[in-house]
Structure 1
Amino acid sequence: MAEQRLLPGDIHWYDLPEDEAEAETEAEEDVPQERPRRRLLGGRVRRAVTNSTAILLLLAAWEALPRLGVVDPVFVPPLSENVVAWYDLLVSGQLPEHLEASLARSLAGFALAIVLAIPLGLLIGWYKPVADFLTPLLELFRNTSAVALLPVFTLILGIGETTKVAFVLYACSWPILLSTVSGVKTVEPLLIKSARSMGLGPVRLFQKVILPAAVPTIFTGVRLAGAYSILVLLFAEMVGAKAGLGYLILDTQSSFRIPDMYAGIITISVLGVLFNLLLVAVERRFSTWRTT
């Protein structure tokens, strides 16, 4: 075989000193890898701009319409005035106090709902006799508004903290319970048959197939319950409470401190968004565990 002749200007990586050869090889590898990174970064920036456009337009309209006289600035103050009121409540310590009270009640009821509703939903979805026994009762209460039952909770438990936590527990239990039952019942039958054909017993089948397959549906109910835990708490805090975001909104509305009222509403909205983002992150973590 004829040897390949090199021209005087031809230099290959194996002709270079070791340091220079490694530097040239790394440079060649970085060039094609840099382009996907730039595309990924550009895609994230575009998505962030697209997702935030509607919110920015809403905030701009909130600031502009009252100043232009399109809406009455007495009842709908400009956004900047509400932000100033929010900051004053924060500095004075009133907002942290009300926020802490609401978070304690909301998280307590939400956590109890998860602990009680998920096992019950798994039991109903997996064992048909239990489902046949409890389904009529579930259908009765699932169509009864939690807000309509607030006077019943108040009459039975009083107007203390127990009532508010129990009310949140009741409201949050339904989306978690129903989603858990649905998640178990809608598992692909082929997966169950394949697992049984491999010799998995009932316990291992439930652990390795049913529960992992139901996780996404269960988390759908958990996220809905997270939103309910904040929304229904506002109703409970408007009855016999002395602290909490619901009490703050009702008190500022009755005393005609409109910017402070909107400050409380903004706090609830931001709290709901942050809570939902936290649950989405937890869901992704469990989904990663499910696929590994």
Structure 2
Amino acid sequence: MRFQLIDEQQALRAAVRDVVGRFLSAGPSWLVAARGGAAKGHSPAPLVDRGLWSALGELGVFSLRLPEAEGGAGLGLPEAVLVFEELGWALVPGPLVATHLAAGVVPGAATGEAVVAAADGSLVEWLDEADVVMPGAEGAVAMRSVDPLTPVHRVPAPARVEPVAVLLTAAEQLGTAGRVCGLAVQHARTREQFGQPIGAFQAVKHLCAQSLVRVEVARAAVYAAAVTGDAVDIAAARLLADEAAVRGARDCLQVHGGMGFTWESEVHLHLKRAWVRARRGGGGTESEELLAADLAGSAS
């Protein structure tokens, strides 16, 4: 299947990157908070950047798939995937998927005036920061999160996960995978050892090349699943995107060496975010079982 983005889709993706880029260039508040907490020897209080949240709402990120008659853009899953890929690329924190799915249901969600949290499988992210918590998060217990910018709670009864939520998580993972691949290549070109860029060494070349292959395979799967909307296609895309994000971030950290763990670097935050996303509902064993059942049915 050959994918070619139309002009409107390219413009949408560019608009999201522009809006997010303006906040990043000014110094993202969530990264400042993370560094401040680390300097004091403890995790920082999580922070949803309300200014960015409102800007995303004004841009139509949350109302993207709402009908025009309801104030939305009337677009589909392919456009939503492009948007969430950009948000993952930029490491934007907050319950983006939950708020997007709540548009048209929760007042203020579509415009970015409300931050909405929801149970996703056995986890709820950003529970204490949310203005509205969807049903299913009752009895949630706080857990220590590996990502200092994504607080999580565990719910006693895992909630059913919509295929759209699984796909949008895959899109975020795809964005992370693309970002860390680019960071690894950039560092390999500029960092020198023994009088030459480290990218000249075969081991580093292999890490970067393998990362790129995983990104492109995952991208094809995620885009295809956005077109078909099929649950099995979404499961396959999620598995590939999780692998591309987690392994890509680990390899990027390997390329950067010790400096990748410092608070001046965003590399370790991408890895931690990818780990947390991979624990959301619809990934791992759940997607594997869905694929296995489909294959078994086809064989019989």
**TM-score bin, normalised by smaller chain:** under 0.3
Larger radius of gyration: 1
Q: TM-score under structure 1 normalisation? A: 0.25
Bigger strand fraction:
2
TM-score using structure 2 length: 0.24
